[in-house]
Structure 1
């Protein structure tokens, strides 16, 4: 058990969150989670920067590119940390407390 299992569970829970979830994730946190996921699973950016009209794509690419050189292992650790930062304010909600405990138990 360890970072790999925590990372997989955190990814599963974040990707499975319904759009109408009470968890409010800022755009900066969304970009952080996206870029850490890409760095952890793909490595350094391997595509060209999207064009000017693809504003969302440019933000994502820029966030990912800032992580250039970060190891997969470090990106996974930071992703798990970001997961806890996002869900910790909701720890009094039984559902989200369960999510936090599921990921913590895999350490």
Structure 2
């Protein structure tokens, strides 16, 4: 897996329209978050958020769960998950995104 495919996948996810056919679930969003953070910053060394920050704790826990994963493996898991979601959507825009990732 190349960094260029990962960067293309990140750009696609960030550009998905809120009302489009591809709607990653909350679990999918946490999956992308943890592997993005692991790929970009490595292991989570930050302090866990407090009790009232539920969203922050979920993100922190997700990122901490992939401790030790290499950036290359994080790229691979991130891209593979996006390809899975795009293939399931099956619309023309998703097919175009798949081609963009594969050619990156």
Shorter chain as denominator, the TM-score bin is over 0.9
C-alpha RMSD over aligned residues: 1.0
| TM-score after normalising by structure 2 | 0.94
Shift >6 Å, 4+ stretches: none
Equivalences for 1:1-107 in 2 at 5 Å? 2-91=1-90, 93-106=91-104
Shift of 1:23: 1.2
Taking the aligned partners of 1:81 and 1:96, their CA distance within structure 2 comes to: 14
Taking the aligned partners of 2:30 and 2:101, their CA distance within structure 1 comes to: 21
Cα offsets for 1:73-93 (capped at 9, x unmatched): 1101111111111111122x1
For structure 2, the residue ranges without an aligned partner over 5 or more in a row are none
Taking the aligned partners of 2:52 and 2:71, their CA distance within structure 1 comes to: 30
| TM-score after normalising by structure 1 | 0.92
Taking the aligned partners of 1:3 and 1:88, their CA distance within structure 2 comes to: 20
How many residues get paired?
104
